[in-house]
Amino acid sequence: MPLQIIKSPSKMQALAESLRRKGKIIGLVPTMGAIHEGHLRLVDIAVRKSDFVIASIFVNPTQFGPREDFSKYPRAFKSDCQKLEKAGVNVIFHPSVGDIYPENYSTFVDVGEMTTILEGTRRPGHFRGVATVCAKLFNITKPHIAVFGQKDGQQLAVLKRMVRDLNFDLKIIKGPIVRTSTGVAVSSRHSYLSAEGLEKAKVIYGSLKLAEKLIRNGIRNSRNIEAHMRNLIKSVPGAKIDYISFNRWDDLQPVRKLSGRVMISLVVIIKNVRLLDNIIINAK
Ligand code: PAF
């Protein structure tokens, strides 16, 4: 079946409804375009777990702050479509800003405390925009499953909470972080980094691997682990730590003494590019 590109929310809804009536399992991969290996891995998961795969491409203005890169955000619609079609996507939902936020639009989803920590402290309102657009995408594409990458770990946890709290009839699936051969987490913001910047960025995953090793060796005090991570990152000139954080996976409560599933996340700024990464470990 050739790839279809649908711009109108009502057409998308009508197609999703007819697929559901035929008993098809719909998988959704929401994206803002600039498709890379990380997205394609999410599409693979959707292809395996559903009969019909929808990928959305929509650079969502409500999740960008006033000083963020909405207009500069990489856009490559034609090559995105080629990559997604090759990966097995059946429909690309590509609405305009006016389709998603018509005049006098006034309804937003606020997932609460989880959105005010970590990235929420640096990007106020970001998760309100993410939750709102995802709620709309879920209502428009009517998926049975929606696949999101672990790379944006807080986003994933926030969306899982929204789906539970608002009884959306779908399952959120976590896709793995795709890394370059040197361990750098692949992201759309990579295109902003020079080869030198990418080389420096290796230290981010290096510090997460170090944390993992310390935990394997029995260290459970997050302050102690953080100090080792900071020392390693500081050894790379020009790598500036924004934050390092230890949070319980699922509800994102900060943890001092590690136990159970914990997300260790950090942001390092290299040449003005904010690079976000995490691992989720089980500290038994
Ligand atoms: O992760 C992203 O690309 C975006 O935050 C998402 C989930 C597509 C919502 O705009």
Tell me the pLDDT of the chain (284 aa) as tens digits: 789 999 999 999 999 999 999 999 999 999 999 999 999 999 999 999 999 999 999 999 999 998 887 998 889 999 999 999 999 999 999 999 999 999 999 999 999 999 999 999 999 999 999 999 999 999 999 999 999 999 999 999 999 999 999 999 999 999 999 999 999 999 988 778 899 999 999 999 999 999 999 999 999 999 999 999 999 999 999 999 999 999 999 899 999 999 999 999 999 999 999 999 999 999 98
- Final residue before a domain boundary, out of 175, 204, 237: 175
User: Is there a single domain that holds both residue 57 and residue 11?
Assistant: yes
Name the nearest CA neighbour of 50 among 30, 25, 18, 29. 25
Residue 140's pLDDT is 99
Ligand 1 touching residue 276 (CB < 6 A): no
Residue 103's pLDDT is 98
- According to DSSP, the β-strands at 239-248 and 171-175 are unpaired
- CA-only gyration radius of the chain, Å: 19
Whether 135 is in a domain gets the answer yes
Residue 68's pLDDT is 85
User: Is there a single domain that holds both residue 207 and residue 73?
Assistant: no
Closest-CA residue, ligand 1 atom 5, reads: 130
Task: Measure the CA–CA gap between 14 and 27, rounded to whole angstroms.
Answer: 16
User: Is there a single domain that holds both residue 156 and residue 228?
Assistant: no
Ligand 1 touching residue 130 (CB < 6 A): yes
Domain count, the chain: 2
Residue 223's pLDDT is 98
Ligand 1 center from residue 127 Cα (angstroms): 10
Spell out the SS3 assignment of 199-222.
Answer: HHHHHHHHHHHHHHHHHHCCCCEH
Residue-range definition of the domain harbouring residue 138: 4-175
Task: Measure the CA–CA gap between 111 and 128, rounded to whole angstroms.
Answer: 7
- According to DSSP, the β-strands at 91-93 and 4-6 are parallel
Ligand 1 touching residue 156 (CB < 6 A): no
User: Is there a single domain that holds both residue 19 and residue 89?
Assistant: yes
Q: What angle, 0 to 180 degrees and rounded to 10, lies between the N-to-C axes of helices 153-165 and 126-141?
A: 60
CATH number of the domain where residue 243 is located: 3.30.1300.10
Q: Do 249 and 263 meet the contact criterion of CB atoms below 8 Å apart?
A: yes
Ligand 1 touching residue 131 (CB < 6 A): no
User: Is there a single domain that holds both residue 67 and residue 164?
Assistant: yes
